[in-house]
Structure 1
Amino acid sequence: MAGGRDLQLDALRALAVTLVLYSHFFAPGGTSFLGHLGVRLFFVLSGFLITRLLLEARDADQFAAGPALRSFYARRAIRIFPPYFAVLALVWFTDLEQARSSLAWHALYLSNFWYAHRNEWTPWLLCHLWSLSIEEQFYVAWPLIVLLAPRRRIEAITIGVIAFSLAYRFYWPIAANPALARDLLPPASMDALACGALLAVRRARGADAPRWVRFGWPAFAAVFLLVVWSDPGPADSAWEWPRWALVQVLPLVPLMAIVAACSNGLGGRLGRLAELPPLLFLGRISYGVYLYHAILLAYVVKAQPWIPLNVSEEGPGRFLVAGAATLIAASLSWVLFEKPLNSLKRYFPYVARPRARTPGEARRLGATYPGAKAALDLQPTDRSYP
């Protein structure tokens, strides 16, 4: 994968986390649909990148399922766990917003089940962890499918996951209960993750996103905007359920098209814009930005008496102060904490490195098989993955 293409995917991470910050810090009432789009974009990106990575490992000559699985889980733990559990430790020691009682659920990556069970966003400062729990649940299950299922069946399985997630939404009119579980249980997000995975599976066999996705996404985006801006009506209106379902499903096609385009590499001015260094750095630290932003918001609100701007409510003051604090904290975390730990990933390759041959072995092999030495010289000694 060319580096420039992955650079543009970093730009998409930056866009996604900016939409979340805008929704939580600026949008009145925190109800902006842009935050929802940001999370869905993260899911499509994660599904694409994780599936691409696993398929590349599976297609390697030295692939073995057991070592690849162990390396995957080890690398995910190195990348995700240290800052995550550092945040939970801070909340535990300070009992910030009386959040200590729920920490066991968050520590087990069951935040989505905690909020679904209680049917309320309490404690609010950890409510954003629901999406990280969804991703972790995906990380546990999906590699088993990609690395162990028959290779020719993976695309069909991916389409089946999307279909199941879409069908899940038909349960709620029957239940007549628009509870938080409707949005927080894993099936509600599996369609976005699987759409990204489907793109990676198609790429692995030399295909791109379907033509109807590449050329039809503007129509889906236009209908989505019309639905979002429509009057939702009373909570029990006949429009409430279809509107919710459309808001969930319609963005998937544009988001899939955007990820496909950036993974191919955008050209021209748009491509240059997507590779601006500040944007790429924001994408690189986006995990920390997302993880820390609500915690820092809690501290910023407590510090309101010493802050001349209004940070107690959504608006420019909160966006400026809490946003700046989040970016500083995430930057320091990346440089001093996350990046050094990420270097440990080199000890967990997805495929075994070829054993280094001694000069004598190389000469004997070259004498027995003409051209073998030149071929050996061209083989990479290490495959690195993001």
Structure 2
Amino acid sequence: MAPPFPLSHRNRRIDLLRGVAILLVLFHHFCIAYPLNHSWLGTLLTPDGVRAIARNGNYGVTLFFVISGFLITSNALARWGSLAALNVRSFYAFRIARILPCLLLLLAVVNSLALADLPIFATHCPGLPPLAGMLRANLAALTFSMNVFIAHHGWANYALGVLWSLSVEEVFYATFPLVALLLRRQSFIMAFWALIAVIGPFYRMAHQDDESGFLFAYFASFDGIAIGCMAAVLVSKWQLQHQLARILQPVVIIGMASLYLYRSIGGTNIWGVSTMALGTAILLIASVPHAEGRIISRVRLLRGVEWTGRLSYELYLFHLIVLGLLRTFLPASTVPNTGPMRVVLLAVFFIGSCGIASLIGHFFAEPLNRILRRTLNSPPQGESTRGLKLKRRI
């Protein structure tokens, strides 16, 4: 089975898609803090246009889920040839190395700002003292149950609320090797993921009276990841899938944009999340290289968006730190709702978030990722010695 693309290649079209997703999320969160309806941007796009773009940032997270499932499965196929041959130790080592450093750094920063008496970074749980609330939020973050925490306590911690989506992803990936090794046959694995994808809209349908249920719950979001996983397997088997996706790509983009702008996600989520996930999967399939391995991404005018896509994990985790500091020192009530000030603040927010994410990625996340991969994925001493002896015999 040929993997969708070699591990050494970076697919710029996927980075572009990730960049679009993270920019939608950032714009969504900024507009909650500083509405732009009457700013210069609002005049340019009309207030309804700004609201239509800003209100559905959660669909950006749906894009992330599908991309994540696609890349995790593609990388597994590239490393081990088949899902049944997946190395459990290596799989978890790669996840820990990528996820844990930035997560621990985020908790350290948020806790420090809370202890420095910046109220927006404190955890506000009714019935719990501040320190107990902070510890409870940290526990939810480290056990990947922040979505459950939000369901019980609401948005008790502003900066850690984004971890609901990381909780969904990591619970899904905790079972990924188990599903692959227990079911083994690719058809069984695909059937399992298809079942997860079918459950999603019906779960959301059953929880329409509860935002935390239809947006943030595990089974309300697992379907996007499962669809991404299935897309990676399909494109690894049949080149025809890639050709068909390329033909459908313009129609899919128009359809996804129309759905995004049509109504709030609160009114479209039941089948809208599934539709956005399927559309994203088609775009991912269309992004894979030709048979000879050449990456088919040549979008030069959107390099900035691609760059944000490469920083999407760091941007996602840390952008609310920047926004929280802006809200602390420049409350929305002090920023005029007319004129250019809020647009300027939007630019400051984007530039500041990207700058911090870039520094964290370059000097912290990437070096620790490499170190942890080598450390956690190194074979035991006895196993290494036996492997060396075997190589010598061969």
Q: What is the TM-score of this pair, normalised by structure 2? A: 0.74
Q: 1:138 aligns with which of 167, 172, 181?
A: 172
Contact 2:69–2:226 (CA under 8 A) maintained in structure 1: yes
Match of 1:368 in 2: none
Match of 1:256 in 2: 281
Q: 1:244 aligns with which of 255, 258, 269?
A: 269
Contact 1:74–1:348 (CA under 8 A) maintained in structure 2: yes
Q: Deviations over 1:113-166 (max 9, x none)?
A: 111223x32322222111111111112112221243222311222212111223
For the residue of structure 1 that corresponds to 2:95, the secondary structure is helix
C-alpha displacement of 1:216: 5.3
Contact 1:16–1:41 (CA under 8 A) maintained in structure 2: yes
Residues 192 and 211 (structure 1), Cα distance of their counterparts in 2 relative to 1, 3 Å cut: farther
Contact 2:232–2:285 (CA under 8 A) maintained in structure 1: no
Q: Deviations over 1:237-268 (max 9, x none)?
A: xx975x33233222122211111122236x99
Q: Deviations over 1:73-125 (max 9, x none)?
A: 1221111111111111222233142226122212222111111223x323222
Residues 201 and 182 (structure 1), Cα distance of their counterparts in 2 relative to 1, 3 Å cut: same
In the alignment, is residue 187 of structure 1 matched against residue 219 of structure 2?
yes
In the alignment, is residue 123 of structure 1 matched against residue 157 of structure 2?
yes
Instruction: Map 1:64-75 to 2 at 5 A.
Output: 68-75=87-94
Instruction: Map 1:87-106 to 2 at 5 A.
Output: 87-95=106-114, 96=118, 97=120, 98-99=122-123, 101=133, 102-106=137-141
Contact 2:97–2:370 (CA under 8 A) maintained in structure 1: no
Runs of 5+ consecutive residues of structure 2 not aligned to the other structure:
37-50, 124-129
Measure, in 1, the Cα distance between the counterparts of 2:19 and 2:255.
25
Residues 271 and 115 (structure 1), Cα distance of their counterparts in 2 relative to 1, 3 Å cut: same
Residues 128 and 178 (structure 1), Cα distance of their counterparts in 2 relative to 1, 3 Å cut: same
C-alpha displacement of 1:33: 4.5
Residues 229 and 81 (structure 1), Cα distance of their counterparts in 2 relative to 1, 3 Å cut: closer
C-alpha displacement of 1:303: 2.5
Match of 2:196 in 1: 161
Contact 1:112–1:131 (CA under 8 A) maintained in structure 2: yes
Measure, in 1, the Cα distance between the counterparts of 2:378 and 2:286.
27
Instruction: Tell which deviates more after alignment, 30-39 or 15-24.
Output: 30-39
Q: How many residues align?
A: 346
Contact 1:11–1:283 (CA under 8 A) maintained in structure 2: yes
Q: Deviations over 1:332-355 (max 9, x none)?
A: 111211121122224555999995
Contact 1:48–1:196 (CA under 8 A) maintained in structure 2: yes
Match of 1:204 in 2: 236
Contact 2:245–2:286 (CA under 8 A) maintained in structure 1: no
For the residue of structure 2 that corresponds to 1:91, the secondary structure is helix
Q: Which amino acid aligns with 2:366?
A: K
Match of 1:39 in 2: 61
Match of 2:42 in 1: none
Contact 1:9–1:259 (CA under 8 A) maintained in structure 2: yes
In the alignment, is residue 326 of structure 1 matched against residue 353 of structure 2?
yes
Q: Which amino acid aligns with 1:59?
A: G
Q: Deviations over 1:153-208 (max 9, x none)?
A: 11222212111223323323xxx623322211111111110111001111333355
Match of 1:288 in 2: 314
For the residue of structure 2 that corresponds to 1:264, the secondary structure is coil
Residues 116 and 218 (structure 1), Cα distance of their counterparts in 2 relative to 1, 3 Å cut: farther
For the residue of structure 1 that corresponds to 2:211, the secondary structure is coil
Residues 220 and 143 (structure 1), Cα distance of their counterparts in 2 relative to 1, 3 Å cut: same
Contact 2:65–2:228 (CA under 8 A) maintained in structure 1: yes
Measure, in 2, the Cα distance between the counterparts of 1:93 and 1:225.
40
Identity %: 27
Q: Which amino acid aligns with 1:105?
A: A
Q: 1:15 aligns with which of 20, 32, 42?
A: 20
Match of 1:378 in 2: none
Match of 2:209 in 1: 177
In the alignment, is residue 299 of structure 1 matched against residue 325 of structure 2?
yes
Q: What is the TM-score of this pair, normalised by structure 1? A: 0.75
